[in-house]
């Protein structure tokens, strides 16, 4: 359904009233809601998989692992929540004696979560897990571009939660703008950098803090000291899962020129191994979300020499897994995040050259390096900046709950997953407790004769 500005405000006001009741702060309430969410997902898993199939032609294995797999985050939150909510005691200095100090995590209030279309179920539900665990009320806005999944998510949320606790609003960009015009206690947005700027600008008018999970051109450095077959296989999987429509997919390869020929041959072999001679007929290869994205991506196919793939079918929204060689740095395909099944390959002569090229561009969400050489691994870690790094693999870093996931610079701000999700939707409230047992007079006027003592205390 699409709500007008007035009903949206009514939903938010009802949520504020419910939050004020204190019910969402109760640990058992949070745990029970997480369990309800998990069961609702398990009960709806066939509908979810059918929806992402309709939207993206996502293979069943990919759909289950990357969409239904969000239940693992719920399990992790349920397992750890009682530890997360405990106040953390911190030391105090001598001048505070006698005292004790604590950090209390408390919920923010009413939060807005805006989801993307590429993993339309997981990336809507995953931040919701953090919002619930932290004790908030939430308004969800799924992407209208993945219309089938949006409908399923809406049905799931409406069946599982009362709207004064968790509400969901379907609609287009106009609806999103109406939501952003309201005052929330936090906004969590997943999507492109340009829309992220719009979200941040709107949030600034209400001084609303934001978490922006964006993207960028995630580079993949391939050193000469590698296991060639493992490297090619992991790159092909990470690049072409979900037809390349993954925010942390390797966007382009930077390959040591001495192994480029062999690597390209192995990558071509892996594409055939994964998807057959005609990936259009493969049950394991997805489709582009819509014609607009298809046209954008198809325009990149003449930006280099096609080594593999290149076939397209607009009616089917199909672009073959494609590898481009001889790509100049100033080509259109190298300007913005590709977000599709096109892999440009560039080369370097030494690692310093590769690092310089990466650092000339905005900081990416992910950076990959394939190398057996630990000194080179350390050099890349030390001399580059990115939201996260994965060494000798691609995309798999997102599956480690203990690792915060988020960007830096143009690739986003803030992080989530595991405890980071709980922290994102919590305020860390500082509390100092003083005792009445004694009251040392060193800080009170008159100050005569006390300066030397203060100098000793401060140092």
Q: What is the pLDDT of residue 72?
A: 97
Q: What is the pLDDT of residue 305?
A: 97
Residue 23 φ/ψ region, left for φ over 0, alpha for ψ in the -120 to 50 degree band, beta for the rest: alpha
On average, the pLDDT of the chain sits at 96
Handedness of CA 46, 118, 122, 159 (dihedral sign): negative
Q: CB count, 10 Å around CB of 137?
A: 30
Tokens of 318: 């199909």
For the segment 45-104, what is each residue's pLDDT rounded down to a tens digit? 999 999 999 999 999 999 999 999 999 999 999 999 999 999 999 999 988 889 999 999
pTM of the model: 0.95
Domains observed in the chain: 5-214+412-431 (3.40.605.10), 219-406 (3.40.309.10)
Contact 115, 124 (CB under 8 A): yes
Stated length of the chain: 459
Catalytically annotated residues? 213, 247
Contact 218, 197 (CB under 8 A): no
* Residue 315 burial (10 A CB sphere; 0-12, 13-18, 19+): exposed
**Whole-angstrom Cα distance, residue 339 to residue 11?**
35
pLDDT at 3 over 90: no
pLDDT band (50, 70, 90) for residue 6: low
For the segment 403-459, what is each residue's pLDDT rounded down to a tens digit? 999 999 999 999 999 999 999 999 999 999 999 999 988 899 999 999 998 888 787
For the segment 336-365, what is each residue's pLDDT rounded down to a tens digit? 999 999 999 999 999 999 999 999 999 999
Tokens of 386: 């990115």
For the segment 282-305, what is each residue's pLDDT rounded down to a tens digit? 999 999 999 999 999 999 999 999
pLDDT band (50, 70, 90) for residue 5: low
Tell which residue, 451, 437, 450, has the closest CA to residue 99: 437
**Whole-angstrom Cα distance, residue 425 to residue 211?**
9
**Whole-angstrom Cα distance, residue 48 to residue 68?**
8
Q: What is the pLDDT of residue 388?
A: 97
Q: What is the pLDDT of residue 247?
A: 96
Q: What is the pLDDT of residue 4?
A: 53
Handedness of CA 415, 419, 421, 427 (dihedral sign): negative
**Whole-angstrom Cα distance, residue 310 to residue 399?**
31
pLDDT at 172 over 50: yes
pLDDT at 1 over 90: no
pLDDT at 178 over 70: yes
For the segment 15-34, what is each residue's pLDDT rounded down to a tens digit? 999 999 999 999 999 999 99
pLDDT at 267 over 50: yes
Q: What is the pLDDT of residue 456?
A: 84
SS3 assignment, position 239: helix
């Amino acid at each position: 359904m699409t709500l007008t500005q007035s009903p949206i405000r009514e939903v938010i006001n009802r949520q504020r009233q419910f939050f004020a009741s204190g019910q969402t702060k109760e640990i058992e309430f949070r745990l029970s809601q997480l369990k309800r969410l998990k069961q609702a997902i398990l009960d709806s898993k066939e509908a979810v998989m059918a929806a992402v199939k309709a939207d993206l032609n996502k293979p069943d294995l990919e759909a289950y692992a990357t969409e239904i797999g969000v239940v693992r985050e719920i399990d992790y939150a349920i397992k750890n929540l009682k530890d997360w909510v405990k106040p953390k005691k911190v030391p105090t200095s001598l001048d505070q004696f006698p005292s004790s100090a604590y950090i209390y995590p408390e919920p923010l209030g009413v939060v807005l979560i805006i989801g993307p279309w590429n993993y339309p179920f997981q990336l809507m539900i995953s931040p919701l897990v953090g919002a619930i665990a932290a004790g908030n009320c939430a308004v969800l806005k799924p992407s209208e571009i993945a219309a089938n999944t949006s409908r399923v998510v809406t049905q799931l949320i409406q069946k599982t939660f009362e709207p004064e606790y968790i509400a969901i609003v379907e609609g287009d960009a106009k609806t999103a703008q109406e939501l952003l015009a309201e005052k929330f206690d936090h906004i969590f947005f997943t999507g492109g950098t340009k829309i992220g700027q719009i979200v941040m600008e709107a949030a600034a008018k209400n001084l609303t803090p934001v978490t922006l999970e964006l993207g960028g051109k995630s580079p993949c450095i391939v050193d000469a000291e590698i296991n060639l077959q493992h490297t090619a296989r992991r790159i092909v999987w990470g690049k072409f899962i979900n037809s390349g429509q993954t925010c942390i997919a390797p966007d382009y390869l930077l390959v040591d020129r001495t192994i480029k020929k062999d690597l390209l041959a192995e990558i071509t072999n892996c594409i055939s191994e994964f998807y057959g001679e005609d990936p259009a007929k493969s049950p394991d290869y997805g489709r582009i979300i819509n014609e607009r994205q298809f046209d954008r991506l198809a325009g990149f196919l003449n930006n280099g020499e096609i080594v593999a793939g290149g076939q397209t079918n607009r009616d089917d929204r199909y672009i073959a897994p494609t590898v481009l060689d001889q790509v100049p740095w100033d080509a259109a395909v190298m300007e913005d995040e590709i977000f599709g099944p096109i892999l440009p390959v560039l080369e370097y002569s030494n690692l310093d050259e590769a690092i310089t090229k990466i650092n000339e561009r905005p900081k990416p969400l992910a950076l990959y390096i394939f190398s057996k050489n630990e000194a080179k691994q350390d050099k890349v870690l030390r001399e580059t900046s990115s939201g996260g790094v994965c060494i000798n693999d691609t995309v798999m870093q997102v599956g480690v709950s203990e690792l915060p996931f988020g960007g830096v610079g143009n690739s986003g701000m803030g992080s989530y997953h595991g405890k980071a999700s709980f922290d994102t939707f919590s305020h860390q409230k500082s509390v100092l407790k003083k005792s009445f047992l004694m009251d040392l007079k060193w800080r009170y006027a008159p100050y005569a004769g006390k300066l030397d003592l203060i100098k000793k205390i401060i140092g």
